[in-house]
Amino acid sequence: MGLAQFFRRDIPGLAAGPDDADLVQLFRCPCTHGPYLERRYGLVWRQAAETERAERFLAAPPEVPLLRREHELPEPCVLHPEEVDTYPWAEDDTLPALLIARIDAWDDAQAMEHGPDAPTYQGDLSIPPGWRVGGFPSWGSTGPIAVDCAACATPMRLLLTAEDYEMDGGSHSWVPLEDRDPSLRGMASIRGGRSVAQPTRLRFGRDRDLHVFTCPAGPGHPHRWVLS
C-alpha cells in the first residue's frame, strides 16, 4: 500500500538513492506480521525520468485487503514542501550536556513566566510535527536510539518521518497562521478540525512517529525504520 512518494526536484535536500535515483516511494504492507503484529515498510528508489517515460500507467491503484481500522488506509494528499530550520532532540548525548542543561533551564523559566501556555524547546523550537524529509528524529516515546547500518555499521541518516498529526497541542508555534485562531492555543486553536490536523488519516502505533533511515555510506544498503 503506497504511503508517499518524493521527488528530489521538489525537495532539494532529499538524499540520493542507489545509482543517483531521484524518486523515492514509501510502502506499508497492509497485513500485520509476527507475534507482536508489527508493520513492515519498504522503500523503492526510481529514476524519475524513466517513470515519466513509461508507456503504461495504472488507471487505478490496486485494491487493498479488508482493513480492520479506518486509520490504516491513507487519504490521498498533495504535498506542498516548505523548508524550515530544525535542531536536535535534547536528551542524553544528542547535544552537549551543558547545552541541554541550558535548554532545561530556559524551559523552566518559560514555564514559571507563562504557565501551561509556555513555549518549550522540544515542542515549539526544535522539530516540527507532521510528515517531513530530513532533519532530526523526535524521540518522545522511546528516548534517543542509535540507528546503525546493518551492512557496514555506519550511523544512519534520517530520510523521512511520518506522523499521525501535522500539528498538536504541544506544538502551537508550528500551526500555520491560516489554520490558527490567534486568540486560542493548542488543539483548540486549529481551524478545520481533523482534515487539517490529520490530513493523511494514518496512524503509526500509539502516538508515535515513523522514522525511516538510510545509510549515507551506501544508498543501496538496507533501510531501517523506527517507531518512536
Q: How many angstroms separate the CA atoms of 156 and 67, rounded? A: 33
pLDDT tens for each residue of 148-194: 999 999 999 999 999 988 877 667 788 888 888 878 766 677 777 76
pTM recorded for the entire structure: 0.88
Q: How many angstroms separate the CA atoms of 127 and 74, rounded? A: 24
pLDDT tens for each residue of 31-66: 888 887 788 899 999 998 888 776 666 677 677 777
Count of positions (residues) in the chain? 228
Distance separating the N- and C-terminal Cα atoms of the chain:
22
Buried b (16+ CB within 10 A) or exposed e, 51-71: eeeeeeeeeeeeeeeeeeeee
What single letter denotes the amino acid at residue 144? P
